[in-house]
Amino acid sequence: MWLAHCQKAGTCPAAYDGHMTQAPTGYPASSDTQHPSIAKVERALLCDLLDEVGPHHPTLCEGWTTHHLAAHLKLREGNPIDFVRNILPGDQVIEEMVASQSFSDLVEKVRQGPTITSLSLFAIPRAGEAMNTLEFLIHHEDVRRGEGAWEPRELPTWVEDTIWGQVVKTAKLSLLRNPRELTLRRSDTGDEAKVSKGSGSRLVTGRPLELALYVSGRKTASRVERSS
């Protein structure tokens, strides 16, 4: 998962002559009408990007290429046994998949998503949306920001609002043992949320997607401001 497997993201790789400075958002500008599933949009955009960059492109997950990331996403959405194998320590299962399954096949399976017959928890619509929104948003950025020039995407306000709500909930759970008080602040609205308690304090300010990247361990790849 984006938190368990990619917290090792450190420095951003060196620049190249990349062509993904900005990406189409895939979203309508307003939520006045029925808006699409963020998880579904991000799944499609990520798979399109994976097809574009190929299996050897670096990601923000240390030691992982896009082939590893595709294997992780496929394994994560498999049956309950696959799900457990996905969260085990180490990358042995992922490495075995990379060695035995083609990148194009893995990407196509991720694009199609899980089916009810696969017994995957992610095939349940509401569960899949709840568990996949940040997953695919963050892994999309893992590829976009894995190498070369990039700029943060301009996302509609309703998408940022959804990300903010999920980031706050996720951060409060993942930072339960954090020894330092941490407050997140939206740079676009000024909204704040204290997500951990402890000695001292730190304020991190940014757009919701940037805060999601920060909380998930991708600190140097996030456009945020930090103050104590």
Q: Which domains are present in the chain?
A: 2-7+37-124 (no CATH), 157-227 (3.30.1050.20)
pLDDT in tens, 128-172: 888 999 999 999 999 999 998 899 999 999 999 999 999 999 999
Q: What is residue 4's predicted lDDT score, i.e. its pLDDT?
A: 45
Cα distances from 33 to residues 30, 60, 149, 154, in angstroms, run 7, 35, 34, 20
What pLDDT shows up at residue 6?
Answer: 56
Segments of the chain with pLDDT less than 70: 1-25, 30-33
The pLDDT value recorded for residue 222 is 97
> Whole-prediction pTM value?
0.85
Instruction: Report residue 220 as tokens.
Output: 């140097």
Task: State the pLDDT at residue 21.
Answer: 43
